[in-house]
Amino acid sequence: MEIGGIEMYRRKYGRGFRPHISILLDGTEFHVDSSPGKRGWNLITHAHSDHYGQRNMDNPRAVASAETARILEAATEKEYEGITFDVGGKIRVQGQKIETYPTFHIHGSAAFFFRNFELLITGDVKDYCELPECRILVTEATYGHPSHVFEDEVGKLLDVASHNVVLGAYPIGKAQRVAEILKKEIGFRAEERVERICRAVGICPDENGPLIVSPRNLARYGGGYILTAQNFYRWPKITLSDHLDYRGLLEMIHHCNPETVVFYHGKPSKALIRYLESEKIECKTLEEIKN
Ligand SMILES: [Zn+2]
C-alpha cells in the first residue's frame, strides 16, 4: 500500500504476516524489526525480543547499532553477523543513505532517517529531543491511550533500594536503567543473565546493594518490587518506563511535524487517531497495511 508516496507492506507468513512492516525504497526492501527475509535488509531498532533482533543473529543483511549487537550477543550468547553503526552516525545500505538518531529507549536503541524520502522510523522512544523533522513518521504507540499518563518514580526506587530488596526488571533495557540509577547512589547486584547484559554496555555490578532479577524469577527470591509502568504483575510496582507516555507521544509527533504517522508497534487508541485527524495528520495503523 502506498503511504505518502512510499510503498509499505507486510510479508505474508502462513495465515498471517511477518512481524511489523516492510518498506520499498528505490527497489530495495527494508524490513523493520522483523524476521529475516529472502531479499532485502533487516533494520533492527533495538535489542528487545519483540523487535526480532534475536532472529537476525546470523543474518548478514541485518542492520543494528554496535551497542544493540553487543546486547544481543550477551542475551543470546551467539555472534551477531550483521552490519553495525554507531548511534548518531550515518550508514549507507545498498546505496541508500541512512542517518541514525538516539531514542533513549534502551542502550543502543536507534531511529533510522531516510532524508531523501523524509522518512523517519523511530522504534520505541523514551526521549524524542534529538529526532529530526520528517514527512512520514513510523513510530510506536505502546502507551497510545489517553489513560496512559505516568511519571517515573526514581525517588521511590532509591527509597526501596536502600533496604536491600529484590527488584524485578526486564533483563534487556529496564535492568540497565535501574542499574545506572542505583550505581550513582547505592550500588547494585544482579543475577547472572542481567549481569552479562549490564557488562555488555559497560555497567559493572557491586559487592552490595539490591539484587536485580528478571521479573519471572522474583518468586524464586521470595518476591520483591517490579519496575514497570504496566499493570499486569502481582508484585508491588515502582513506575519506571522505557517509553513515552501518552502526553510524550503527542509531543513527539508535534516535534517531528509529519504529514503522516504510521503506528507500526503497539496499538493507537481511537482517541489518538481522532486527535491526529483533527490536527490534519494522516494516520495509518499496522492492521490497515496488507501485503
Ligand atoms: Zn522496546
- Domains of the chain as residue ranges with CATH: 2-146+244-288 (3.60.15.10), 154-238 (no CATH)
Tell me the CA–centroid distance for residue 126 and ligand 1, in Å.
10
Tell me the CA–centroid distance for residue 204 and ligand 1, in Å.
22
Contacts 24+ apart (CB under 8 A), 160-164: 160/210, 160/225, 160/238, 161/185, 161/186, 161/188, 161/209, 161/210, 162/186, 163/210, 164/208, 164/209, 164/210
Q: 3-state class of 223 per DSSP?
A: coil
Tell me the CA–centroid distance for residue 246 and ligand 1, in Å.
16
Tell me the CA–centroid distance for residue 47 and ligand 1, in Å.
7
Question: Which residues, given as ranges, of the chain have pLDDT below 70?
Answer: 291
Tell me the CA–centroid distance for residue 191 and ligand 1, in Å.
21
Tell me the CA–centroid distance for residue 46 and ligand 1, in Å.
7
pLDDT at 291: 62
Tell me the CA–centroid distance for residue 136 and ligand 1, in Å.
21
Tell me the CA–centroid distance for residue 174 and ligand 1, in Å.
10
Per-position DSSP letters for 158-220, written without gaps between them:
HHHHTT--EEE--TTTHHHHHHHHHHHHT--EE-HHHHHHHHHTT----SSSPEEE-GGGGGG
Nearest to 133 by CA among 258, 248, 250, 249: 258
Tell me the CA–centroid distance for residue 81 and ligand 1, in Å.
21
Tell me the CA–centroid distance for residue 275 and ligand 1, in Å.
25
Q: Tell me: the pLDDT tens digits for 2-54?
A: 999 999 999 999 989 999 999 999 999 999 999 998 899 999 999 999 999 99
d(CA 239, CA 177): 12
Q: Tell me: the pLDDT tens digits for 202-231?
A: 999 999 999 999 999 999 999 999 999 988
Q: Is the CB of residue 28 less than 8 Å from the CB of residue 43?
A: no
pLDDT at 65: 98
